Each structure stands twice: as structure tokens, then as C-alpha cells.
């Protein structure tokens, strides 16, 4: 039986779902001759590790207890004394995590999985790469900080997987890497990579006011608690930056032109969320309605897209033919069109759910399994 030791950073919606997938797939993995051994899990404040990471792991009942405690909003430190495990808090956690990664990275191998939404994991990730560990990311921040960090993380391409950083579980990164590996030059990538903004733009087409559509998206749970986090476009810009860097462009986040769907004076530092929802949003209705009508008069529709062409990446609203994969988009799906020599007149189109804990965690799990050849 091949054994893959795992260390999980981040135990929110995606991290917990990943633990559940691991437990529910035990039978399937055993049939494939694989055992996923979770040796440590950390959140923002604490670390829970098996007492001896070489011979022990956090068993399935401990993993389920972690999920229960974390979904109730408590810290991992509540689990002091759980099974054959130890808790480390705050300052001690990073040192202990690096100690484990050092031991396992150089011996059995270790997959370090980042399901946090934090930049604080970057220093740990840089070091574990030097220890020979594999890295699996759902977190976009490590790959969108400096070029130096990006170069370091991808320095051993066989040891990093990050499918869920763009399009959640959709095979976006895999497809791109396969096209690039075959020497087929990619000319243009254009995609609707935010489920929230995909929903908003397609609902506008029905003639509904922007303010009403954003509020509906919020009540359906499609938006962040403050919808301006989606409407500002920075999350799409991070995805665009990851794709651009995969194409070989040495860009940084501030090289990307990002169009926000609300003006500066309605930003979170100048207007409360309550005021934005009650008064600010509807001031944006008229302008957007006019843009929708103008596009429609030309047989087009508006989509909030990330477009990478040449060395430039641009994120914002574009008019696109109604009769295109992006133009036909309805609801919260992601759609990505890739144009290359082989996909010249008709793009390669990848479409499907681009968010959600289940599909994102499934993407992370598939990435871990994809590393199995590196373990014995």
C-alpha cells in the first residue's frame, strides 16, 4: 500500500470538505493501493499533530471531530487531548510544522496542502519546498504574491499542484499545462472566472436592475458577506495573474488593469456595507442599464471577464457576442475560452461550477492523488 502523508493548513469550508472527502474515499483509495495519512491540521491559531508522524496519523474519528469543532466556529485548540495527538498554539505552531515537514519531506515525502485564505502561509510553503515536500494549493495568495515566491513554488513543477486556484474543480490548469507542453502557442484566454459576477452579468441581460441582482446574489449566498469583495474584481485579477504567469508572463498584481463595478467613493473605507446596500448600489443602476442596452442593440451582451492577450491581462466588463460560449453563460458557472494554434477559430471551452466547497475540495483531492507517483 502506497502511503501519502498530508499536512493541511486551513480548516474552513474547503479544508473541512477535503477531510470529509478523504474519509469517504478510503475504500476507493484502498482499491487503488493508496492510503492518505493526515498527520497534521492547522487553523489560524493552532496546530493539531499526530504524536509520532512517522508511525501515527490523525484517525478518521479525529478528522471528523476536527470538522465538527471547526464548523461550530471553535478553534482547533479545543481538541487538546484528542486521540494520539498533540496541540501547539500560536508561535509554536510554525516551528513544529516546519520540523515535521523537514523530517517527512526528506524521508517518506509529505504533501503540504494550503486551504487557507491567508498570505501568512507563504513563508512556510517556501521552506517546505526546500525540504522536498509537495505542495497543493486552493489558496491563490502564494502564487499571486511576488515573482520570487512564484518562481520558488513552481521550481519543481512535478511537486506542485494548484488546480483549485482557478475555476475550483474545473480542469483549467491541467488543460493549460497540457496545451503548453505540446508546444501549441496560446494566443488568447478569456473567461468569466467569478461565479458571483457570472450570475450578476447574466441576470442583467434579463433587464433586471443591477442593485436588485446584487442583492439577490447576496441572499442566494453567491457573494462574500460584503459583495464589494466580488464587485471589485480583485479575486478575478488573482486568477488572471496565475494564468498569465503559467503562460510565462512575469507580471505582478498591479500590472493588471482591473475595472471595479463600484466607484472609489463607495469603497469599504468610505461607505458602510449597510449604506452601500441601502443607497449606494442603486446609484449604479442607470449607467449599467445603459451599457446593457447598448450592447444588446449590437447583438452583444456584457460579461465580467479576465482577458489575457499578448503579455497583457485585463479584468473588467466586455461586450461579447450573445452567440458565444461566454455570451450563452447563465447562472453562476465559470466559462473559459482558450485560443491557440490548434484551437484557432473555435476555442477550447471549459465550463462548469467554478466555486463551492465540494467541487473545490474535490479538485484539491484529485491534485493530491495526482502526486502519488512521488510516494512509496
Ligand X SMILES: NC(=O)c1ccc[n+]([C@@H]2O[C@H](COP(=O)([O-])OP(=O)(O)OC[C@H]3O[C@@H](n4cnc5c(N)ncnc54)[C@H](OP(=O)(O)O)[C@@H]3O)[C@@H](O)[C@H]2O)c1
Best CA proximity match to 104, nearest among 218, 19, 3: 3
Contacts of 114 (CB under 8 A, 6+ apart): 9, 10, 121, 125, 135, 136, 137, 138, 139, 142
Query: What's the distance, Cα to Cα, between the start and end of the chain in Å?
Result: 8
Q: How far is the CB of 53 from ligand X (least distance, A)?
A: 18
Q: What is the DSSP string of 64-131?
A: HHHHHHHHTT--GGGGTT-TTEEEEEHHHHHHHHHHHHHHHHTTT--EEEE----STTHHHHHHHHHT
Q: Which residues bind ligand X (CB under 6 A)?
A: 9-15, 42-45, 75, 115-118, 120-121, 138-140, 164, 168, 355-357, 360
CB of 17 to ligand X, least distance (A): 8
Place of cell 517546505: 128
Identify whether 140 is a catalytic site residue.
no
Residues in the chain, overall count: 376
Q: From the candidates 239, 270, 286, 293, give the one annotated as an active-site residue.
A: 239
CA angle, 371 then 174 then 120, to 5°: 65
Minimum Å gap between C-beta 168 and ligand X is 4
Kindly tell me which of 15 and 109 has the beta carbon lying closer to ligand X: 15
Which of 192, 195, 238, 235 minimizes the C-alpha distance to 354? 195
Question: ∠ CA(112), CA(73), CA(75), 5° rounding?
Answer: 55
Nearer to ligand X, 340 or 357 (CB): 357
Locus of grid cell 497583457: 312
Q: What share of the chain is helix, strand, coil (3-state, %, to 5)?
A: 45, 20, 35
Whole-number Å distance between alpha carbons of 319 and 23: 45
CB 70 within 8 A of CB 11: yes
Least distance from ligand X to the Cβ atom of residue 61, Å: 20
Supply the minimum distance, in Å, between the C-beta of residue 280 and ligand X.
25
79-97 per-residue burial string, b: 16 or more CB within 10 A, e: under 16: beebbebebbeeeebbebb
> Measured from the CB of residue 118, what is the shortest distance to ligand X in angstroms?
4
Write out the catalytic residue numbers: 239
Amino acid at each position: 500500500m502506497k502511503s501519502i502523508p498530508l499536512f493541511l493548513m486551513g480548516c474552513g469550508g474547503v479544508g473541512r470538505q477535503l477531510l470529509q472527502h478523504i474519509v469517504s474515499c478510503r475504500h476507493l483509495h484502498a482499491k487503488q493501493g493508496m492510503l492518505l495519512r493526515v498527520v497534521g491540521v492547522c487553523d489560524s491559531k493552532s496546530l493539531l499533530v499526530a504524536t509520532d508522524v512517522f508511525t501515527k496519523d490523525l484517525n478518521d474519528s479525529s478528522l471528523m471531530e476536527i470538522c465538527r469543532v471547526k464548523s461550530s466556529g471553535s478553534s482547533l485548540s479545543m481538541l487538546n487531548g484528542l486521540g494520539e495527538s498533540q496541540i501547539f498554539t500560536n508561535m509554536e505552531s510554525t516551528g513544529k510544522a516546519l520540523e515535521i515537514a523537514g523530517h517527512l519531506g526528506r524521508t517518506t515525502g509529505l504533501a503540504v496542502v494550503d486551504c487557507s485564505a491567508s498570505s501568512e502561509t507563504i513563508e512556510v510553503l517556501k521552506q517546505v519546498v526546500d525540504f522536498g515536500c509537495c505542495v497543493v494549493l486552493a489558496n491563490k495568495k502564494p502564487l499571486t504574491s511576488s515573482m520570487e515566491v512564484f518562481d520558488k513554488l513552481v521550481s519543481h513543477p512535478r511537486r506542485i499542484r494548484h488546480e483549485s486556484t482557478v475555476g475550483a474543480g474545473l480542469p483549467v490548469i491541467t488543460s493549460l499545462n497540457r496545451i503548453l507542453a505540446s508546444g501549441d502557442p496560446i494566443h488568447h484566454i478569456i473567461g468569466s472566472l467569478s461565479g458571483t459576477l457570472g450570475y450578476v452579468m447574466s441576470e442583467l441581460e434579463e433587464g433586471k436592475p443591477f442593485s436588485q441582482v446584487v442583492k439577490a446574489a447576496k441572499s442566494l449566498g453567491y457573494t462574500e458577506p460584503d459583495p464589494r469583495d466580488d464587485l471589485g474584481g480583485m479575486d478575478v485579477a488573482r486568477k488572471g495573474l496565475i494564468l498569465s504567469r503559467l503562460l510565462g508572463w512575469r507580471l505582478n498584481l498591479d500590472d493588471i488593469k482591473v475595472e471595479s463595478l463600484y466607484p472609489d467613493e463607495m469603497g469599504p473605507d468610505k461607505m458602510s456595507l449597510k449604506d452601500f446596500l441601502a443607497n449606494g448600489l442603486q446609484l449604479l443602476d442607470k449607467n449599467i442599464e445603459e451599457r446593457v442596452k447598448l450592447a444588446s442593440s449590437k447583438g452583444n451582451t456584457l460579461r465580467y471577464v479576465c482577458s489575457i492577450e499578448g503579455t497583457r491581462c485585463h479584468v473588467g466588463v466586455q461586450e461579447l457576442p450573445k452567440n458565444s460560449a461566454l455570451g450563452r453563460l447563465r447562472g453562476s458557472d465559470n466559462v473559459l475560452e482558450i485560443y491557440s494554434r490548434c484551437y484557432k477559430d473555435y476555442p477550447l471551452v471549459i465550463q462548469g461550477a467554478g466555486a463551492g466547497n465540494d467541487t473545490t475540495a474535490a479538485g484539491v483531492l484529485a491534485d493530491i492523488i495526482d502526486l502519488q507517483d512521488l510516494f512509496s
